[in-house]
């Protein structure tokens, strides 16, 4: 008894775990949006681009920091030169000594040199500030690209979600047709065996039954394919759709028929326009000079001592050290580049005109499309209502004609015609609902508001 009880408990526990594993979670449209936002590679790429431009902005900001350069070298060669100190190249300043040559001939000695130079461009007539503004607009533009990609992703998720939903509805429609035709087939067989109907009715009903099963397999394939396509944006496993929801049009709510300025598709171009304007400001300031504060310290050793006696050899440079400093103000002005800068400014102005025209065109197209969709949706609502009425009338007619066929008042051909009418009206009602919600999805993408879909498919 103890062994039997333990075995029973174990089997019950295993069955419970298996049943729980087979349970499918209901996936609402909002949950699908959240999962797509977290896992879709395209959106992750856009988020990485935002981080990239944020780092670029820091790089631009760092250019305002004084540039410090360090140099150390050891060399061996002649020591002819001129007196004085100067900045030969960025990062180096040079101090040379007496150019007298001992014994009337060139000599070679060791040299050691090290320097630290500070170059701070403290005034550039606003070029740096505008460059920072341009970098900031790049970040905002990357954020707009991310928002636009996210909105497009939500529209894609909704479209694939609706495909699954309505392919499932069509599969149910096909299965219901199979049941109806099977009922007609069974009835025709019974009547034929009773001698009340000709045997040919059985063949006709059997043909209709096979055709209905073929249609069912077609929609089963479409349903399974739509679920696979959905995993492209939502890699969810072991889920199911909510139960059938009402197709009543008042469930959708109303959406404004104007496109807001904050729409991601408009902001995408608007931020690019701001970036191009900032670049135009940077280019216009290229004709101005830049002022720098220069400073440096150096140490230098060589093989010439204070008495003018030279010591030869590479190691002789590590003696007779002299330390110097130098500070100054530098002006850099690329005068010859003024013409090139004017051309760059004219090109930037043309670019701004083009981006502005693209913004105006995008806004016009979206506004026109949204208004056209509002009109089409209004008519689709009427179509949906009439399709539903036609479907209900066809159901009543089918029930009536099925009874009349069973009573021998009509033939099989008339009953199959009524069944085909019911099948067509049911399919048209489903198609009208799918077209309606696809329009709502398109309207939500253009308006940037998916609240109607989220409230309906929850």
| pLDDT for residue 107 | 60
253 within domain boundaries: yes
Mean pLDDT to the nearest integer, 321-349: 82
448 within domain boundaries: yes
166-223: per-residue pLDDT in tens? Answer: 999 999 999 999 999 999 999 888 888 877 778 888 898 999 999 999 999 999 999 9
| pLDDT for residue 182 | 93
| pLDDT for residue 241 | 72
At a CB cut-off of 8 Å and minimum separation 6, what does 280 contact?
A: 345, 348, 349, 351, 352
Its pTM stands at: 0.77
Residue 102 has pLDDT above 70, yes or no: no
Mean pLDDT to the nearest integer, 213-240: 89
Q: What value does the mean pLDDT of the chain take?
A: 82
> What proportion of the chain, given as a percentage, has pLDDT over 90?
43
| pLDDT for residue 346 | 87
401-415: per-residue pLDDT in tens? Answer: 999 988 888 888 899
User: 8 falls in which pLDDT band (50, 70, 90)?
Assistant: very low
117 within domain boundaries: yes
174 within domain boundaries: yes
Residue 293 has pLDDT above 50, yes or no: yes
| pLDDT for residue 76 | 60
CA distance 428 to 434: 10
CA distance 191 to 404: 13
DSSP letter at 118 equals E
Both 112 and 144 in a single domain?
A: no
Partners of 76 in the β-ladder: 110
Task: Write the CA distances from 225 to 27, 58, 221, 232, integer angstroms.
Answer: 18, 47, 6, 12
Both 160 and 305 in a single domain?
A: no
Both 311 and 392 in a single domain?
A: no
3 within domain boundaries: no
Buried b (16+ CB within 10 A) or exposed e, 56-93: ebeebeeeeeeeeeeeeeeeeeebeeeeeeebeeebbb
Q: Which of 156, 162, 143, 163 is nearest to 33 (CA)?
A: 156
Both 115 and 248 in a single domain?
A: no
Both 52 and 72 in a single domain?
A: no
Mean pLDDT to the nearest integer, 281-308: 80
370-420: per-residue pLDDT in tens? Answer: 999 999 999 999 999 999 999 999 999 999 999 998 888 888 889 999 999
Residue 290 has pLDDT above 90, yes or no: no
Both 393 and 271 in a single domain?
A: yes
CATH at 32: 1.20.1600.10
CA distance 318 to 325: 19
User: 322 falls in which pLDDT band (50, 70, 90)?
Assistant: confident
User: 59 falls in which pLDDT band (50, 70, 90)?
Assistant: confident
| pLDDT for residue 240 | 75
| pLDDT for residue 98 | 55
5 within domain boundaries: no
31 within domain boundaries: yes
78 within domain boundaries: yes
Both 113 and 206 in a single domain?
A: no
**Domains in the chain: how many in total?**
2
At a CB cut-off of 8 Å and minimum separation 6, what does 230 contact?
A: 160, 161, 163, 164
CA distance 397 to 414: 11
| pLDDT for residue 85 | 56
Helix segments in 194-330, DSSP class H? 200-230, 264-284
Both 241 and 372 in a single domain?
A: yes
| pLDDT for residue 63 | 78
CA distance 72 to 77: 16
Residue 359 has pLDDT above 70, yes or no: yes
Both 311 and 399 in a single domain?
A: no
Buried b (16+ CB within 10 A) or exposed e, 198-209: eeebbebbeebb
Residue 261 has pLDDT above 60, yes or no: yes
Both 86 and 42 in a single domain?
A: no
128-154: per-residue pLDDT in tens? Answer: 888 888 889 999 999 999 999 999 999
Residue 255 has pLDDT above 50, yes or no: yes
Residue 5 has pLDDT above 90, yes or no: no
Residue range of the domain that includes 104: 68-123+290-332
| pLDDT for residue 9 | 43
SS percent in the chain: helix, strand, coil, step 5:
65, 15, 20
Both 441 and 294 in a single domain?
A: no
Name which residue leads in pLDDT, 58 or 194.
Answer: 58
Both 92 and 117 in a single domain?
A: yes
| pLDDT for residue 339 | 75
Q: Which of 139, 130, 147 is nearest to 55 (CA)?
A: 139
Mean pLDDT to the nearest integer, 87-113: 61
């Amino acid at each position: 008894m103890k062994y039997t009880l333990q075995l029973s408990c174990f089997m019950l526990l295993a069955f419970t775990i298996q049943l729980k594993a087979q349970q499918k979670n209901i996936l609402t449209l909002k949950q699908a949006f959240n999962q797509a936002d977290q896992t879709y590679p395209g959106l992750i790429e856009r988020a990485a681009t935002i981080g990239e431009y944020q780092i670029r902005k820091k790089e631009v900001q760092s250019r305002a920091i004084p540039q410090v350069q360090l140099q150390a070298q050891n060399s061996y060669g002649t020591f002819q030169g001129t007196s004085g100190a100067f900045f030969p190249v960025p990062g180096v300043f040079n101090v040379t000594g007496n150019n007298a040559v001992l014994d009337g001939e060139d000599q070679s000695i060791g040299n050691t040199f090290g320097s630290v130079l500070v170059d701070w461009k403290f005034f550039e007539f606003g070029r740096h500030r505008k460059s920072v503004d341009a970098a900031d607009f790049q970040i905002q533009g990357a954020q707009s690209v991310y928002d636009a990609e996210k909105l497009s992703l939500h529209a894609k998720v909704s479209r694939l979600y609706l495909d699954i939903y309505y392919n499932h509805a069509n599969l149910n429609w096909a299965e219901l047709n199979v049941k109806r035709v099977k009922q007609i087939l069974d009835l025709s067989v019974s009547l034929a065996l009773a001698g009340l109907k000709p045997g040919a009715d059985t063949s006709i009903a059997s043909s209709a039954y096979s055709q209905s099963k073929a249609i069912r397999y077609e929609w089963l394939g479409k349903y399974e394919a739509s679920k696979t396509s959905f995993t492209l944006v939502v890699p969810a496993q072991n889920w199911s759709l909510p139960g059938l929801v009402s197709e009543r049009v008042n469930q959708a709510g109303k959406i404004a028929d104007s496109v807001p300025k904050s729409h991601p598709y408009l902001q995408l171009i608007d931020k690019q326009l701001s970036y191009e304007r900032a670049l135009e400001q940077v280019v216009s300031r290229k004709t101005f000079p830049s002022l720098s504060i220069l400073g440096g310290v150096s140490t230098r050793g060589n093989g010439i001592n204070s008495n003018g006696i030279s010591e030869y050899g590479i190691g002789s440079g590590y003696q007779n050290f002299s330390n110097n400093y130098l500070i100054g103000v530098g002006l850099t002005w690329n005068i010859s580049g003024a013409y090139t800068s004017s051309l760059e400014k004219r090109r930037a102005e043309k670019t701004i005109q083009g981006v502005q025209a693209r913004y105006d065109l995008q806004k016009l197209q979206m506004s026109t499309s949204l208004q056209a969709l509002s009109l089409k949706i209004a008519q689709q609502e009427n179509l949906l209502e009439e399709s539903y009425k036609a479907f209900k009338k066809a159901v009543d007619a089918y029930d009536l004609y099925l009874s009349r066929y069973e009573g021998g008042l009509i033939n099989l051909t008339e009953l199959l015609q009524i069944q085909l009418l019911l099948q067509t009206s049911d399919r048209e009602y489903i198609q009208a609902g799918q077209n309606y919600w696809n329009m709502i999805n398109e309207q939500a993408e253009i308006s940037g508001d998916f609240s109607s879909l989220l409230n309906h498919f929850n």
